[in-house]
Structure 1
Amino acid sequence: MIDHPDFIAGLPKAELHLHIEGSLEPELMMALAQRNRITTPFATVEEVRAAYNFSRLQDFLDIYYAGADVLRTEQDFHDLALAYFDRAAEDGVVHAEIFFDPQTHTDRGIPFQVVADGLLAGMAAAQARHGLTAQLILCFLRHLDEDAAFTTLKAAEPWLDRITGVGLDSSEIGHPPEKFARVFAAAGDMGLKRVAHAGEEGPPDYVWQALDLLDIDRLDHGNRALEDPILTARLAREGMTLTVCPLSNLKLCVVPDMAAHPIDRMLKVGLRATINSDDPAYFGGYIADNYRAAATGRDLSLADLTLLARNSFLGSFLPLDAVSMHLARLDAYVDAA
């Protein structure tokens, strides 16, 4: 019998649901605050960690946006990205498709160029250091209006050859996907992939909207889709990838405990579910921690874990030849385990 933690650590995998601002560890937050001479509400790293004790999405978002204020320069965004990639490489991540929230930064006067160029430099450094490939997904903040999203898409135009897709995140309740139908259509016309958070706190209807009005290529979270059998069957039939985040679901009380998490049920009904870390600095674990928590909480088999990793490559936006290469690497790892 292979020990799950050892197997998980080396399992080649892709991460498809990672908010780069949500990987800002307290130590880096305080270091950047000092470097940029910014006064924060926190005197110590321990105080920052204590502030991460929340149980609602909105409470998390409040501290998330406050923490992002320390990010001011291109070097800051480079350092943020590379710190995440260093940690992800330890967890067997060989490809990552990371979200970034430009409006969080442009609304406080940080130019789009500073954010994009810093993150792209961090991605290049990660590939040189670890051989880890990455893609950028620009997310619109759904608590802002669609005009603000259009402004952000316009600002991104010089970088669209280096941005893979657009997404939709932030406060879900009260901000249905239909609010952003036109900007998603415009992004699609530009050749960008489309993903959206739906069915985390919002109802199954939000998932229907994401599918039919935003024409998404991938569904972020999607837990509550299971409440609708017709919707669940459609997601399975169409091979829609779900980027599930177990520890995030636990922290934000989407599930009461890991024993109640639906990850194995998703696999059993034919959903292309994946495991990801969402905002690991805030939710208590990076991707391998999420695999381990799900494996322990739901007694996942090695076949289940392998399928989750396989789904991560099949659900990625990599070209087919790269997907095939990663799947062959995965198969070789499993065969040798």
Structure 2
Amino acid sequence: MSKTTLPQAMRCIETTDVKGAQALTIGERPVPIPATGEVLIKVAAAGINRPDVLQRDGLYPAPPGASDILGLEAAGEIVALGEGVSDLTIGDRVTALLSGGGYAEYATAHTGACLPIPQGLSLIEAASLPETYFTVWSNLFDRAHLRSGESLLVHGGTSGIGTTAIQMARRLGVRVITTAGSREKCQACLDLGAEMAVNYREDDFVPLAREFGSDKGVDVILDMVGGDYVARNIKSLAPDGRLVNIAFLQGSKVELDLMAVMLKRLTLTGSTLRARDTGFKAAIAQNLKKTVWPLLESGAIKPVVHRTFALENASEAHRLMESSAHIGKIVLTTDETGR
């Protein structure tokens, strides 16, 4: 293993047995050693995502072999190389999709899940990219085959996933309608490029989505809500439409009349990303580098970072995540240079 001089221990966020954000405490662990095909990153910033909250409460365990430390994305500088690494070097600044371990001063990542920091972006902005960008690309463009000229309904438009999906789809020629929970959030969605934003506390999105899709419905829906949204989504889809679920905040057990699925030739699908193999993630990374990274570097797409917190204040960051008061991503920083 090639490396610079490294400390033996690092600060990280540990989880206790209690439930809720108070479970997060600052602790100390040995600095991890990169395995074959991996690099060690000195973390400047790490993004916070909904799966972190689920893992914190014991509802989303880390896959076999992954770090049990929370954190699915991070940005920083490579400080050590595992065996067989030749495409990255010590000193490279990268942002990486992780299987775990981001809430720490050092984290390992497979080289295929690492991407260069887009020119013009800070480490904080770069840390907000991987989990949402990999997820949106994989589900909308690979799984749902979303194409230029089609229409897309994005639920939760001001979440990290939502702000990413709106911008990425619009810049790739897709018409976007979205839902959000306040007038302020709806305006934020419009500012990001959505053509229509529905305040779900005031209006029913179903007839508006059908109208948006020329009275036939929209072509694709990206949903993380689940529950009674599933049946309403089916009503909102055009013939040959595709519904993609990436989470079920209101529950995954639903009662459906599937006749509309058959009559409209609908596709209901979904996926999780964390447990997929390194080759799958590397393929997404290359698509992002080719198609989306130039849009980030030109400023056509901009990361939306709502607020940063110091690593030791991770519990406060989780409380903000659970409040849903944020617009965009919440990011942890490990030192002053990362902030």
Length-normalised TM-score, structure 2:
0.31
Structure with more helix by fraction: 1
Length-normalised TM-score, structure 1:
0.31
* Bigger-Rg structure (1/2): 2
Structure with more strand by fraction: 2
